[in-house]
Amino acid sequence: MGEIPKVFKDLEKVSELIPVPLYWINKDGVYLGGNKLCLVETGAKSPSEFIGKRWDEVHKKEIADKIIENIKLVMNTGKVVRSEEVINDLSTGKQRYYMAIRLPVYDENNVIAGIVATSIEISDTKEAESLRLETELQKTKLDEQEQFRKVVDQVVHDIRSPLASLLMVVKSSEKDIPEITRVALREAAISIGDIANQLLSKYENEALELSGGSRVEEPQPIMVVLTILQLLSEKKHQYKELPINFSYSFSPESNFAFIQAAPIAFKRMLSNIINNAVEAIEGKSGMVSLQLFMENKSIKVVIQDDGKGMAQEVVDKIMGGVAVTSNKKDGHGIGFVQIRETLERNYGQLAVDSKVGKGTKITLAFPIVATPAWIAKEIKLNKGDTVIILDDDSSIHSAWKTHFKKYNKDIALKHFVLGEDAISFINNFSQKEKIFLLTDFELLKQELNGLHVIERTGIKRAVLVTSHYSNSIIRNIVIKSGAKILPKSLASEIPVEIAGDNDNVDISNKPTVDGLGKVDAVLVDDDRMFINSLAMFFESNNKRVNKYYNTKKFLENLHFYAKDVKIFMDNNFNGCVDGIGIAKKLHGMGYTKLYLLSGTRISVNEVPDYLTPVLKTDLDKILILINE
């Protein structure tokens, strides 16, 4: 190392008084000394760890090369050199940032003998600056995302309006459209809806990632059917390369059912189960089906596949809460940890039925909660009402016209494309209380939306038909106005009821004692939504029905009906009366065509031979029965 120049010896005497890390090296790049703060910065315990060593012996090559380059620049030019340097902290694995300043040191002959340098850590400042830039970039991305989201919203709106109208026309014209055509139209509508849902979901997920990737999950009312429809759209896209057939079946009364749960966790739980089902099929051609129905004040979600199935011991472990790592690639478990946690937090129950080589059926049950006041689950009208349809899409007008066709003798329809025209008509109508408004939320190329129309007319009997039902701002305004929201994708499912039906019975087609005006079927169920939907289904197939909402009124009017009238009754009436008991009484009185409606499959061995069980969701079988 040779003789140490006097200037470095003098520097050593005062170095501990200098409040920054300080070190000095000779013109060959060899460490000659440093103060205690330098030891902290370098991580050395004593000067002996680096004195006498070159930079390339202390640091990695990429750092040493840069430092040697800066040393040579100082030595050759005599200038002060400042540079930002990054060093990997081996103890933490993180990068640490330093601002290094190197000055030339001259000997007594005014010749550069080496350099003195300080290296001050600026990691905190660097991270703060990086965070600021990242925040600005994030804000820019979010702004761009919001602008593009508006475009996506518009595209989805343009898709969903004609889609909703197509579903409504198909639903309301079942007797006029051949089955093969009806099925094709319905499948086309579902495919189009999948595209819209996938497009919207893609940008919702990107927005979630940009905003930090997490949300505080608070339980809230969830419309189960809409969550499932959105999830199915995503899964069809996710597994589009696989020969998997996704199908679903929803009972009419489940369309507007709500549960209380954390939305993201609930959706993730269903997603995990569907992923398990797809993986169980192992890339082969297969089926994944979802069924939704109501039973005993609960809503049940059944997810079934025809994959490889699970052994009973695996099923027992799952039901016992034991962690399972079989039946899954790489041993990562089969998703039941998250599933069980979600069920426990949201009062859900789980049932697993699986057979090796046959497939697996997962049944989830959740207690239903009251439908929020802002949801329109039925359209209640009075005779003489004027129903106003406001929408910028002409196909929607045609669809609503078809939907209300059989009520033409009781109500009047008025159609508007422009919000201002609808407002003028309503405000000049002499009997505003007889107006019922069905309005789209988004009115394109207009200075107002459906909410503005409701506010400016003061209409209380109004329904906002929109895909933005989950928007809390829109929802709060609707609640304040006294109106309701109908998710656009469920417009084809909403039942219509004309006042005149009392609280317990609709016998507008009541038969006379001599049999004139005989009805084809009698429906008895305390679930209004289901029985109204089923009655619409019967009537669309040219069948005359009477419907009862309680058993007492039905039994009082029983003498009106012929012994061979077809009677469809619920299996359970609020837990106090059962359909089997009523059927026994009817059988004893000579009634011969008795059918038990149930939300779950019942074997013929579980009921008397004079009673035929039928699933509420099995409309094909019901259609066969009423045509026999």
pLDDT, tens digit, for every residue of 467-514?
777 777 888 888 888 889 998 878 878 888 887 544 444 444 444 333
- Tens of pLDDT, residue by residue over 60-83, are 666 667 777 777 888 888 888 887
Q: Rounded mean pLDDT of 370-383? A: 88
Domain ranges in the chain? Answer: 6-121, 379-497, 501-627
DSSP symbol at 335: S
d(Cα 228, Cα 263) in Å, to the nearest integer? 12
Question: Residue 206: which pLDDT band, with cuts at 50, 70 and 90?
Answer: very low
User: Can you identify the CATH homologous superfamily of domain 379-497?
Assistant: Response regulator (3.40.50.2300)
In whole angstroms, what separates CA 258 from the centre of its chain? 14
- Tens of pLDDT, residue by residue over 5-23, are 677 777 777 777 666 778 8
Provide the pLDDT for residue 66. Answer: 73
Whether residue 626 contacts residue 620, with contact meaning beta carbons closer than 8 Å, is answered with no
- Tens of pLDDT, residue by residue over 577-620, are 678 888 889 988 999 999 988 766 777 677 888 999 888 777 77
Helix (H) or strand (E) holding 156: helix 123-172
Q: Rounded mean pLDDT of 133-150? A: 64
CA dihedral (50, 51, 53, 59) in degrees, to 10, reads: 30
DSSP symbol at 450: H
Provide the pLDDT for residue 476. Answer: 82
Provide the pLDDT for residue 299. Answer: 92
Whole-model pTM? 0.51
- Tens of pLDDT, residue by residue over 22-44, are 888 887 778 888 887 776 656 66
DSSP symbol at 54: B
- Tens of pLDDT, residue by residue over 542-583, are 888 888 887 888 888 888 888 889 999 887 765 456 788 888
Spell out the residues 6+ positions from residue 190 whose beta carbon is closer than 8 angstroms to its own. none
Which CATH code fits 6-121? 3.30.450.20
Q: Nearest CA to 54 among 21, 30, 26?
A: 30
d(Cα 492, Cα 379) in Å, to the nearest integer? 12
- Say whether 501-627 and 379-497 share the same fold: yes
- Mean pLDDT, all residues of the chain: 77
β-partners of residue 597 are: 570, 614
Whether residue 443 contacts residue 449, with contact meaning beta carbons closer than 8 Å, is answered with yes
283 burial (CB, 10 Å; 0-12 / 13-18 / 19+) is exposed
Q: Nearest CA to 623 among 547, 538, 532?
A: 538
d(Cα 439, Cα 421) in Å, to the nearest integer? 13
Question: Residue 197: which pLDDT band, with cuts at 50, 70 and 90?
Answer: low
C-alpha Rg value of the chain to the nearest Å: 37
β-partners of residue 405 are: none
Spell out the residues 6+ positions from residue 627 whose beta carbon is closer than 8 angstroms to its own. 541
DSSP secondary structure string for all residues of 539-570: HHTT--EEEESSHHHHHHTGGGS-TT-EEEEE
In whole angstroms, what separates CA 76 from the centre of its chain? 66
DSSP secondary structure string for all residues of 199-267: HHHHHHHHHHHHTTS------EEEEHHHHHHHHHHHHHHHTTTS-EEEEEEE-GGGTT-EEEE-HHHHH
Neighbours of 65 (CB within 10 A): 13
CATH top-level class of 501-627: alpha beta
406 burial (CB, 10 Å; 0-12 / 13-18 / 19+) is middle
Q: Is the pLDDT of residue 389 over 90?
A: yes
- Tens of pLDDT, residue by residue over 95-106, are 777 777 888 888
Q: Which sign does the torsion angle of CA 75, 80, 82, 86 carry?
A: positive
- Tens of pLDDT, residue by residue over 284-338, are 899 999 999 988 788 999 999 999 999 998 888 888 877 665 444 433 344 677 7
DSSP symbol at 28: T
Give me the percent of the chain exceeding a pLDDT of 70. Answer: 74
Name residue 569's amino acid: M
Whether residue 518 contacts residue 562, with contact meaning beta carbons closer than 8 Å, is answered with yes
Q: Is the pLDDT of residue 162 over 70?
A: no
Spell out the residues 6+ positions from residue 445 whose beta carbon is closer than 8 angstroms to its own. 392
Question: Residue 208: which pLDDT band, with cuts at 50, 70 and 90?
Answer: very low
Q: Beta 286-295 vs 244-250: how paired, if at all?
A: parallel
